[in-house]
Structure 1
Amino acid sequence: HALLGDHDALHLDFDNAIDYIVEKAGDINVYDIKIDGDYDGNSLLTSELLQPYFRDPSILKDIYKLNPEIVYDSQSDKVYEGLYTDFMKNEINLVEELLYKGLPVLIYNGQDDLIVQSPGTMKWVDRIHFTQSEEFRTKLFTPWKINGKVVGAMKSAGLLEFRIVNNAGHLVPMDRPV
């Protein structure tokens, strides 16, 4: 339906597709398919226990080098609006440029994410062109272990590494911080 330059139509088509899936799947959660209904992933960031930490001027200034006068929150309308036209934009060339410049690239995906699902991510990662492209594409995933426990799957070649994180949804760092 939408043309690539029509950002409003792209957002609308995406939202309609997600709404359809949620309706047909029985109120599945778009951020984590293991959860029914709304996702409370932001509760960790907004909990009363962590608010003093996230609002402490010395932590913001000294550790994170952030302006303590700005109120930081789990989401920002300004950031969303600033990135609005980047939605569904192909940025493989940026990843290729990083690899060409000799910078390591790690791409990860939560296995239980509906919005950015692992098979779709695997497809675009396999399209990245770099000196070890063929090796990367033909390589099989291997178990990714931490302390002997399988926590996901991974494959890599050269400076490109891709990991799928088990039991994690859209917000991987909150679902599986280690």
Structure 2
Amino acid sequence: MTNVLDVPRQQVVKLYGNRLRARVCGLYREGDRLLMVRHRGIGPTDTFWCPPGGGAQFGETATDALKREFIEETGLHVSVGSLLFVNEFLAPPLHALELFFEVEAIGGSLSMGMDPEMDADGQIISEVRLMTFDEIKAYPASEVHTLFARCQSLDDVFRLRGYLN
């Protein structure tokens, strides 16, 4: 019998595991808070916080993919600014090249969205909220995106440049 908590993890591996993915991620800031999405099915504790984003589809530009992902995950319509850095996310069976952009909200309202690629009982988004840097850093390193290990402040996040691995 499958544990209900295993369903999101199985969905993640089925859809994204054992292949290289191109992902787009947006850094959206309101004052001293950064928009974060909590995912299930990733990592050892079934909690993984990261900025909104997801996979680009064939024929879709990175900026169009990021706009779509923000609407799906957060309910916000965004304009995409500068490409800040590229991160290589490698946590087998997941492997992704992530393009991080600065974004600005231009409409919509913040709400918890969904991942349309996931089954209804296998949804991995469990929370969406604006978090201070201290709130993000209070989580164990395994429960937040690796980019935060390189930073001592929210301003540092927006100063990251180049290729991170």
Normalised by the length of structure 1, the TM-score is 0.22
Which structure has more relative contact order (CA 8 Å, sep 6+)? It is 2
Q: Max radius of gyration: which structure?
A: 1
Structure with more helix by fraction: 1
